[in-house]
Structure 1
Amino acid sequence: METKYMGLHETHEIHELLMFKNLCLTKATAMGALVQDQELGNILNADVTATKQQVQRLQEFITNRGVQ
């Protein structure tokens, strides 16, 4: 069965996740510029990369509205 549209509550949940991930991305980016420990910097950089991918995927869900 193919889902053509997400429900309003599903769209709202994805929007909340998107806002949270954007906040995480902003914080990790800002902290990455301030950190002095190389290992911590590497962890933050990896988190920034992963979070950018997650934000992009969430944006696709909202843009496509669940069209398969």
Structure 2
Amino acid sequence: MDSQKLAAHESIDLHEIINFKTLCVAKSKLMQGLVFDQDLRELMQKDVDQSIQALTELQAIYQRAPFEAPVPESKPTPIIN
């Protein structure tokens, strides 16, 4: 089953989950600097650590997505001079 490709809707859902978890990690890391309570800071760090582990696992699953978005070789032409 590991070699099976994800369906398109599964890939999109997984992509959205990865984006959401990435934003959560960034927010938790930034908010740690504003928190003075050590217990809360430790809880936030635990959330960051668990989220990073989850992101690593999700990215491994995302490798089974049936499509790739090619990176453009050139920049778009500006429409305003």
Whether TM-score is above 0.5 comes out as yes
Normalising by structure 1, we get a TM-score of 0.87
Match of residue 4 from structure 2? 4
In the TM superposition, residue 29 of structure 1 has moved relative to its aligned partner by 0.4
Normalising by structure 2, we get a TM-score of 0.74
In the TM superposition, residue 35 of structure 1 has moved relative to its aligned partner by 0.8
List, as ranges, runs of 4+ consecutive aligned residues in structure 1 with deviation greater than 6 Å: none
Mapped to 2, the partners of 1:49 and 1:10 lie a distance apart of 25
Pairwise CA RMSD: 1.3
Aligned length: 64
Question: Which structure features the higher share of helix residues?
Answer: 1
Stretches of structure 2 lacking an aligned partner (at least 5 in a row): 66-81
Larger radius of gyration: 2
Task: Report percent identity of matched pairs.
Answer: 33
Stretches of structure 1 lacking an aligned partner (at least 5 in a row): none
Mapped to 2, the partners of 1:50 and 1:60 lie a distance apart of 16
Q: Determine which structure has greater relative contact order: mean sequence separation of CA pairs < 8 Å that are 6+ residues apart, divided by chain length.
A: 1
